Amino acid sequence: ALVSLRQLLDHAAENSYGLPAFNVNNLEQIQAIMQAADECNSPVIMQGSAGARKYAGEAFLRHLIAAAVEAYPHIPIVMHQDHGASPSVCVNAIRSGFSSVMMDGSLQADAKTPSTYEYNVNVTADVVNTAHSVGVSVEGELGCLGSLESGMGEAEDGHGAEGVLSHDQLLTDPEEAADFVRKTGVDALAIAIGTSHGAYKFTRKPTGDILAIQRIKEIHARIPNTHLVMHGSSSVPQDWLDIIRQYGGDIKETYGVPVEEIQEGIKYGVRKINIDTDIRLAMTGAIRRSLEKDKSNFDPRKFLKEATAAAKDICKARFEAFGCAGQA
Ligand code: G3H
Ligand code: 13P
Ligand code: NA
Ligand code: ZN
C-alpha cells in the first residue's frame, strides 16, 4: 500500500532501524527494489529526482511506482519526490499523488547557489503547510552537501556549486537545526556531514575528518525526536568498480560512505538513507559484463535482466544492513 514517509519513519524510530531511499528512473530499477523488498519483507521508499522526471516523464515515473504498489499489496511503499527546487515542484508532486516530497531550500530555486537561512525556512514552512493539509510528508534540508576534502558545496546535479565553502558552512549546525525544525514542522531533516552526490565522494576511505558521523550525534542530541536523512550515501562498492573496469569502463579511484558508518548513524537518529549511485554502478557493471560475454545477443531483456539482478542484490544487502528487513 502507498503510505506516507512519516508513517514509515515513525515506525523505524520506534524500532531503531533505518530505511534506504532508492532513486528510480525506469522499470528495471523499480522491479529490482521490489524483488529485494519482497524477499526480505522490507518497507520501501522510492524517490524520483528532477532528472528522473526529465528522463522518464512524470506520468511514466508515477505509474511505474503505482504498478509496484499494485503488484506488491503487502509491502508499504512511499512515493517520494527527491530534491524539489521550489514550492511549485512540490505542490505539483502532491497534486499528482506522491505521498512525500522534499523541499530542498538549501539551494536557491536555480538549484545551484546556496540559499539564505530565511529563504530556506520560508519555502520549507510553505510546503509543509500545503502538504500536511492533505497527509503528505515533507523532508527539508539544512546545510550544504559537499566535500570536506575540497571545500566544494554541490548543486543538485552533484557538480560543484560556485565558491569554496568553509568546513562550518558545509556541516549542519545543531542549534540551527533545532530552530529550523521548530519553525518549519518538517517530518524529516536532511543534514550535511561531508557526503556528496555521485560516485566521487572521497579520494580515500573516509575517516572522521572528512565524514562527520560525530556531527550526527550532536544534532541527534539536540533534536532527538526528528528523523534525520543522509543524502549522498552510496557506498560505492569496490567490487562493482572492478567489474566495470574489467569490462572496458573508465572509473577513477574513489570511495563512498561505508555501510558501517551508516549503521552508526542509524544508532543516532538517521532513518532515511538516500542511495542512487550504487544501483547505477551495479547495473552498469552487469550490463558491460553481459554484453562482453555474449557478443551475439541483441535482446535487451537479457542484459537488463542481469542488471536487475545486480541492483536487487545491492538493495537486499542495504535492507539487511539497515535493519528494515522483516519490518514490512
Ligand atoms: O539527487 C541526486 C540523485 O542522485 C538524482 O540524480 O538528478 O541524475 O537523477 P539525477
Ligand atoms: P548517491 O549519489 O550517493 O547515491 O546519493 C543519492 C542521493 O542523495 C539522492 O538524493
Ligand atoms: Na529526498
Ligand atoms: Zn540527495
ipTM: 0.97
Amino acid at 6: R
Check pocket membership of 277 for ligand 2, CB cut-off 6 A. yes
Check pocket membership of 6 for ligand 2, CB cut-off 6 A. no
b/e map 21-46, b = 16+ CB within 10 Å: bbbbbeebbbbbbbbbbbebebbbbb
pLDDT value at residue 39: 98
Check pocket membership of 25 for ligand 2, CB cut-off 6 A. no
Residue in 141, 145, 234, 314 to alter for ligand 2 test, most ligand atoms within 8 A of Cβ: 234
Q: What is the pLDDT of residues 60-106, one digit of tens each?
A: 999 999 999 999 999 999 999 999 999 999 999 999 999 999 999 99
Q: What is the pLDDT of residues 100-151, one digit of tens each?
A: 999 999 999 998 899 999 999 999 999 999 999 999 999 999 999 988 898 8
pLDDT of 213 over the 90 cut:
yes
Query: How far away, in angstroms, is 65 Cα from ligand 1 center?
Result: 17
Binding region: 83, 104, 141, 197-198, 231-234, 274-277
Question: In this structure, how many other beta carbons lie within 10 angstroms of the beta carbon of residue 70?
Answer: 9
Q: What is the pLDDT of residues 243-292, one digit of tens each?
A: 999 999 999 999 999 999 999 999 999 999 999 999 999 999 999 999 99
pLDDT band at 58 (very low <50, low <70, confident <90, very high): very high
User: Using CA atoms, how far apart are residues 326 and 123, in angstroms rounded to an integer?
Assistant: 37
- Beta pairing, strands 227-230 & 188-191: parallel
pLDDT band at 167 (very low <50, low <70, confident <90, very high): confident
Check pocket membership of 276 for ligand 1, CB cut-off 6 A. yes
Q: Structurally, what CATH architecture does the domain formed by 5-322 represent?
A: Alpha-Beta Barrel (3.20)
User: Using CA atoms, how far apart are residues 290 and 17, in angstroms rounded to an integer?
Assistant: 35
Which amino acids are annotated catalytic?
82
Check pocket membership of 23 for ligand 1, CB cut-off 6 A. yes
Query: How far away, in angstroms, is 261 Cα from ligand 1 center?
Result: 22
Cα 157 vs. chain centroid, distance in angstroms?
13
Identify whether the C-beta of residue 144 lies closer than 8 Å to the C-beta of residue 192. yes
Residue in 47, 106, 156, 257 to alter for ligand 1 test, most ligand atoms within 8 A of Cβ: 156
Q: Is 156 helix (H, G, I), strand (E, B) or coil?
A: coil
Identify whether the C-beta of residue 308 lies closer than 8 Å to the C-beta of residue 31. yes
Q: Which residues touch 156 (CB under 8 Å, ≥6 apart)?
A: 49, 50, 83, 85, 104, 107, 111, 112, 197
pLDDT of 157 over the 80 cut:
no
Angle at the Cα of 182 (from 181 to 187), degrees rounded to 5?
A: 45
User: Using CA atoms, how far apart are residues 86 and 239, in angstroms rounded to an integer?
Assistant: 38
- Specify the residue for cell string 553481459: 290
User: Using CA atoms, how far apart are residues 19 and 266, in angstroms rounded to an integer?
Assistant: 9
Query: How far away, in angstroms, is 126 Cα from ligand 1 center?
Result: 24
Cα 286 to Cα 59, 239, 282, 319: the distances in Å are 28, 12, 6, 21
Q: Which residues touch 72 (CB under 8 Å, ≥6 apart)?
A: 34, 37, 38
Binding region for dihydroxyacetone phosphate: 198, 232-234, 274-277
pLDDT value at residue 296: 98
Query: How far away, in angstroms, is 220 Cα from ligand 1 center?
Result: 27
Check pocket membership of 7 for ligand 2, CB cut-off 6 A. no
27's grid cell: 522499470
For range 149-163, the mean pLDDT: 81
Of how many residues is the chain composed? 328
